[in-house]
Amino acid sequence: MEQGRNYENKCDYSKALRCYAQVIRTNPRYSAAYHRRAAVYVKLKKQLDASADVVRILELREGNEMALLKEYAASAYDDIKERLIMKAQDNPGQSEWPYYLGVLSEIRRHYKDAINYYKRAVSLSPDISIDIKIAQCYDRLTNWDDAIAYMDSVIERNPENDNNILLRAEYKYKSGDYKGAVEDISKCIESHPDRALFYEQRSWYEFSMGFDDEAFEDVQKAIKLNPGAAGAYVRRGRIYQIRGQEEKAFDDFIKAIDLDKDKRNTSFAIAYSYAYMGMKEKAAEQIGRILGNKFPSTMNPGGVYYDAACIYSLIGDIDAGVYWFVSALNYGRNNYFHYLRDRDIDNLRADDFFKNVMCERWPDSLQEYNIYGPKTHYDEFVAPKFEGQEASRFSKWVNQRLEYPENAKKNSIQGKVVLGFWIEEDGSMTDLKVIISPDKDLSDEAFRVASQSPKWTPCTRDGKPSRYHYYFPVIFQLR
């Protein structure tokens, strides 16, 4: 194996494959060898061969199938899916194959397909953990009635698991049943009055609903039970701040920063504390540090992106805030009712593009924001086109004209520049801005090329040309 890894690191893939094949012949159940061989096949664009090794690892039942399938879902999705379907057909009584198909579909955010596969799996072998995954998929589809119904069934069969009650509370909160969410957390507190987490969670719901006094009482209890929880101090500090008790608020924010001083690469408590204190540069530096981390393959980054949106909103960087808000939505962060009342994004709610996004994702918002007049639904929407093709054509157009800045190349600077712009009713590009960038030279070059864009074909709503906003990433990568 070690020799194979050495060849792989040297990009001598043919020798690496021979080494891994030898290991597999010696020990056909050694999953790590299949894993490394699959990775090499992907590099050689041999997705069919990679998919065979991925399915073989699943047959060995080593666990952690979510991480495995997530690693290969982008590069070999179709081939893996086809092989899993064949396995399910050849073994109609085995529940693992429809389960793996559900996992693969969920990773690709095909939630309706995932639900069907998971239901097939539990029909063959009842499993509470799969019922929870079904509920989570319904949540992603904003079908909270069914998500709650599945969690009701789970809790009825396993009433002692507080995590399941917490999850149902989350779905109730998302559905607008704030009272039901608080009642569920209160049940957990009755069972475990010494758990700081439950008081902190209930305080979050209460604070989000504007019940600041109740939230303050609960966060006080949380701090008493767990004085090392930085997030609780941030919550209490924010309530002090709203009450006008600035000195006490700052004391709590400083306390939170000190508690998390060894977690600077991951601590949102630090970022929120700086933002609430008006220390914009430090807040931006902290959130940039967090976003620069590589997220675990099993983690959905939607929550991180929403926190980023909140931080940028608080420090007044609206464009960056809306960008990360949209990124959170794209990763299934779909708490519509919360977005209407979260005080941390007050600055975003005044932004026209934020309103546009809310109205397109949740048509019921149209009346709330009243940006398209009295009509509350559009039967036909056609996205803008560039040179008669999808927006991806604009990526090719830009990349063909980019010149890597010499200074950035000299200093090995690379990364993603995010541009924001509007496509007007006449197809012209307006209000071009740099939203996020690792370097000024990269920003200037991306802006220079994009600003030369010819006219687009505008989007239409019910056949009428309409404005449309884009966030457009430009990738600079040294080769």
Per-residue pLDDT of the chain (479 residues; tens, 9 = 90+): 889 899 888 899 999 999 999 999 999 999 899 999 999 999 999 999 999 999 999 998 877 777 888 888 888 889 999 999 999 999 999 999 999 999 999 988 899 999 999 999 999 999 999 999 999 999 988 899 999 999 999 999 999 899 999 999 999 998 889 899 999 999 999 999 999 999 999 999 999 888 999 999 999 999 999 999 999 999 999 999 999 999 999 999 999 999 999 998 889 999 999 999 999 999 999 998 888 877 665 566 888 999 999 999 999 999 899 889 988 988 888 888 888 889 999 999 888 778 877 877 776 655 555 443 334 444 566 878 998 888 778 989 999 999 999 999 998 888 888 888 889 999 999 989 888 888 899 999 999 999 999 999 998 877 888 888 888 889 898 87
Q: What's this model's pTM, rounded to 2 decimal places?
A: 0.74
Q: How far apart are CA 232 and CA 219, in angstroms?
A: 6
Q: What is the pLDDT of residue 204?
A: 92
Range(s) for CATH 3.30.2420 in the chain?
382-476
What 3-state class would DSSP assign to 436?
strand
SS (H, E, C) 354-389: HHHHHHHHCCCHHHHHCCCCCCCCCCCEECCEECCE
User: Scanning the structure block, which residue is given the tokens 């519509």?
Assistant: 336
User: 6 is written with which tokens?
Assistant: 């050495």
Rounded alpha-carbon distances, angstroms, from residue 364 to 62, 373, 376:
46, 13, 7
1.10.287, 2.60.120, 3.40.50, 3.30.2420: which CATH number matches 382-476? 3.30.2420
In the chain, which segments carry CATH 1.25.40.10? Answer: 2-126
Q: Which of 329, 453, 432 is nearest to 385 (CA)?
A: 453
At the top level of CATH, the class of 2-126 is: mainly alpha
Q: What is the DSSP letter of 419?
A: E
Helix (H, G, I), strand (E, B) or coil at 423: strand
**What is the model's pLDDT at position 134?**
97
Helix, strand, coil share of the chain (percent; to 5):
65, 10, 25
